Amino acid sequence: MKLTRRILMGAAAGSFLLSGTAAMAQTELTFWSWRQEDKAFYQDVIKKFQAKEPGITVKFETYAPENYQTILSTALAAGRGPDVIQVRAYGNLETIATPGYLLALDKQNVPELANFPEAALAAETLRSDSKVYAVPFAMQAQLVVYNKKIFKDNGVNPPKTWDEMMALTQALKAKNITPFANGTATAWQNETIVGGLLSSMLGKEFETDIVSGKANFTDPRFVGALAKLKDIGQYFSPNFTGVDYPSSQQLFVAGRAAMFAGGSYEVANFKNQNPTLDLGVFPAPVLKAGDQALIATYYDGGYAVNAKTEKKDAALKFVRFLATPEYGTSFTNTLKNLSPIKDIKIEDAITQDVAKLAENSMSYLMLVRFRYQEPSGSVLLQSNVQKMLAGQQTPEQAAAEINKGIATYYKPFQK
């Protein structure tokens, strides 16, 4: 009896010690994101990571996109916030990297950074110290998504020139088909429309001239492109000035519009909502035959580590996992977004088309070049294009207002 009791007590003590050791070895990371629509994907990624690192668990939390930056900045300023952070790129990255909230990454603590092109790392680099603060997660493209069935049923093809685009929209409208699902009530959508429809007309040389200060936004190339956009605005969704982003998405998903000027990131969302959609993509039409057709590209953000985390080693392990070709392949083929990681095998046909189009691209200009200071180029472009399409400004007035705002801080425009 005494022997049995000693055995039981010994077993209980051993069990306690084992469970205590396991608890001590377990590290829980918190991981924040604004990508609510990708929750299932990230839960699957976390399972795969935890299988490789059984001593680490990851708790994924998402917040509304429009509130995310404020919630994140407030938490970090208070010395809290998650261990791993999905961050946006360019100027938005700088707002949280500049105060020292993020851990600098390099090829010592994240050797997988060698898997990325320099342009992707530049999007996650703080200009003041030239250090990288996040592992890039996606390259996005602004272009036109179209409904292949509507095109086929009406005997039309993707346009290559602007004149062909105008003829196409007129032909569809004549058959009581809404050519573009786009509305303009959501301000930021106006910037995506410019990227999707005007990139080929603006061109790489215009971007080079703007960056150097050889030209500014009152340049005839920019004003002329805005005038073309104003012309085609009549073929957007009915009462488009009052149609917000979700409503324009639903119009296209329901098969009630032929085209959607927006981002490559729309494709997976459209297909998820309506798997019967047969979709294609094409670049912004050129002004005249022979010009180079372009899409507008940018890097969407990255994965960063909280500089004050007490779980730095575990956080770096997770971020390194998010920088592997294994992860990039899953990201591209599940979310139908282009991973910036080199040599990813793309399975999806539309994503392959986007990758091919991305070989000829210019920057998504205001985000990449003019979202570092206030008033940001994006805010100026969004608000003034919105007014122009509503008939409250001419293209010349919109261009002048955009230029005036940027010139308050951009020295090449102050000559």
Q: What is the pLDDT of residues 245-291, one digit of tens each?
A: 999 999 999 999 999 999 999 998 899 899 999 999 999 999 999 99
Q: Burial, 269: exposed, middle or buried (Cβ in 10 Å; 0-12, 13-18, 19+)?
A: middle
pLDDT bucket at 25, cuts 50 / 70 / 90: low
Instruction: Give CA 201 to chain center in angstroms.
Output: 23
Residue-averaged pLDDT of the chain: 93
Task: Write the pLDDT tens digit of every residue in 110-129.
Answer: 999 999 999 999 999 999 99
Query: Could you read off the pLDDT of 131-183 as tens digits, one per residue?
Result: 999 999 999 999 999 999 999 999 999 999 999 999 999 999 999 999 999 99
For 132, the enclosing helix (H) or strand (E) is strand 131-132
Q: 365, 207 in Cβ contact below 8 A?
A: yes
Of the chain, the end-to-end C-alpha distance in Å amounts to 97
CA 170 – CA 163 distance, rounded (Å): 11
- Largest interatomic CA distance in the chain: 98
Pairwise CA distance, residues 392 & 398, whole Å:
9
Instruction: Report if pTM > 0.85.
Output: yes
C-beta separation of 219 from 225 below 8 A: no
Amino acid 21: pLDDT: 44
